[in-house]
Every structure is written in structure tokens, then in C-alpha cells.
Amino acid sequence: MKKKDVRDEPIPSALRFAWMRELFPTCNVVHLLDENPQDPSEHPAFWEIWRRSLERVLPARPDYVFASESYGPKLADVLGARFVPVDPGRAIMPISGTAVRVDPLGNWRCLPECVRPHFAKRVCIFGPESTGKSTLTARLAQHFQTVAVPEYARTLIELQRGEVHAEDMLRIVRGQLASEDALARKANRLLFCDTDPLTTSIWSEVLFGACDESVLLEANRRPYDLTLLLDVDVPWVADAVRYLPEQRRSFFERCREELERRRRPYRVIRGTWEQRWESAVQAVQQLLQA
């Protein structure tokens, strides 16, 4: 039972409804959209308002009301149902939903797998070719005991023996996002992503002089909590899917401009390999503590 989305609603009700349907696939989960008062102190007819709303959406009058909260007995009485207390003293599960919402990262073990992508902090490893993005992504994931999303572009282009075409850009974005969404369920507070749709949009413009609107749409709407922008102050290492050794500096500046334009939070990572590692770990730790 959910109330209608409003500006101060921290999690959209449609998303919570989808979670409940996934968690309880054999149940008839009811999605109530009425904007009802949330506490009896807010309206003298609080319980009557809720009774009318629930009786309208429920397929039949309930026989039982299960609850851990103190309002359970009153709600059962209003609906003409029998109240069944469920761990009211929080002995079996010593935490409340409110406490989980206040600190979801600190209570990660209490979050169902389908809920975790909403709260996971997403860190994008971003920048020009041959700057150590893939190595850093994997190492960060291992250090923080979570998962890393690999670069889908490399997977596709290696399959095509180094060839890349304009029509591949949307395929790359879709593959990258599908990988990210799938692995987000396995994340442990953090999800490290080796590149993102914005990277693909920049490459599309650099290689082909234009970018598909669908690619730009995904680049603009996919959020990341932190982006680590890798500088080009490390040696170039050639391989079959790297193309622009002489343009790394200009590509870096283009990346920074796009991050600034979108006001995405980012940290430039530069220096020796060890300095880069220390800077990246520090930036992620600050994200977790924010």
C-alpha cells in the first residue's frame, strides 16, 4: 500500500510497488495512489480516510492485519480484521525500516537484492585511452569487496577484430547499461563502472562527427555519484582497440568539459600508478562517508 509520489517522497512509489511485486510474486500487491495523511495528528478523520481508501482498492475485506508497528491493532480494528503482531519488540530482526532508510549503506545486509541498485553508489572510471581505466576499475572493486562493470565497447570491438562503425555506438551503450543494471544487484554498497554512455557519445563525435540522439539521451540521464577522470600522464600502450595516441590530451579536455557541463561530481586522477591508486581510494572513501 503506497501513497502517491510527491516531491518529498525519497523513493518513487512505483519503484517500491515493483520491489514488492518481485519480493512477493504469489501475492496480490495493492498500489494505493491516494495522498492520505501519514499520521493521525495530521487530520481528525485520519482513520476514516484510510479506511475508505483501503476498502476501495482491496479486492475484499481483509481477515488479518500483520504488523510490527504500533498502529497495527488500530488499523485491524478499523478494517474489521484480526491483528497478528509480528516481532513488535524487534527481537528477530533488530532494526526498523526507518533506520535502514536513514543509513542504507550501513545496513546493506538488510536490503533485498532488488532494492540494492537504488542505493548503491555508482563510480564511473572515465577518460582517454591507455590511462589504466580497466585495471583501476577491477582493482577498486576487489579492494572494496564489490563488483565491477567491464567496458562493453572492448568486448564488441574485439569481436569485430578492431573495427567500429557509427551504428555500433547505440549497441555499445545498450550493452554497457544492461551490464551495469544486471551487476548492480550484486553490488556491495559500491558499483564500479568501466566507462559509461557519456564516454560512448564523445567517441561517436570524435570518430564519426556525430552522435545518435538515443546515445545522447542515455548519456544525459544515467546518473553517477562520482566520476574518476584519468589523466594522460602515463605511457601509451598500443593494442588492437586503441585508436588515437596523439589525441589523448585533447580527448581528456573534452571529457572534462562534458563533465563540467553536466555538473557531474568528479575527481581528476593523475601521477604515478601508486599515486593514482591512492587518490582513487581516497575519493571513493570520501563518497562513502558523505
Q: Are residues 152 and 48 in the same domain?
A: no
Q: Are residues 269 and 144 in the same domain?
A: yes
Q: Are residues 87 and 197 in the same domain?
A: no
Model confidence, pTM: 0.88
Q: Are residues 105 and 186 in the same domain?
A: no
Confidence of residue 8 (pLDDT cuts 50, 70, 90): low
Q: Are residues 84 and 40 in the same domain?
A: yes
Residue 229 lies in a domain: yes
Confidence of residue 7 (pLDDT cuts 50, 70, 90): very low
Residues 39, 42, 44, 50, CA torsion sign? negative
Q: Are residues 132 and 101 in the same domain?
A: no
Contact, 196 vs 228, CB < 8 A?
A: no
CATH of the domain at 67: 3.40.50.620
Q: Are residues 20 and 129 in the same domain?
A: no
Residue at a domain's end among 110, 129, 157: 110
Question: Across the chain, what does the average pLDDT equal?
Answer: 93
Per-residue model confidence as pLDDT tens digits over 94-103: 888 889 989 9
Q: Are residues 217 and 269 in the same domain?
A: yes
Decide if pLDDT at 239 tops 90: no
Q: What is the DSSP string of 127-153?
A: -SSSSSHHHHHHHHHHHTTSEEE--HH
Residue 138 lies in a domain: yes
Contact, 129 vs 243, CB < 8 A?
A: yes
Decide if pLDDT at 104 tops 80: yes
1: helix, coil or strand?
Answer: coil
Contact, 248 vs 206, CB < 8 A?
A: no
By residue range, what is the domain housing residue 31? 13-110
For the chain, what is the domain count?
Answer: 2
Tell me the mean pLDDT in the region 194-198.
97
Q: Bigger pLDDT: 121 or 248?
A: 121
Number of other CB atoms surrounding residue 256 within 10 Å: 16
Confidence of residue 2 (pLDDT cuts 50, 70, 90): very low
Q: Are residues 106 and 122 in the same domain?
A: no
Residues contacting residue 114 through CB under 8 Å, at least 6 positions apart: 18, 19, 22, 23, 185
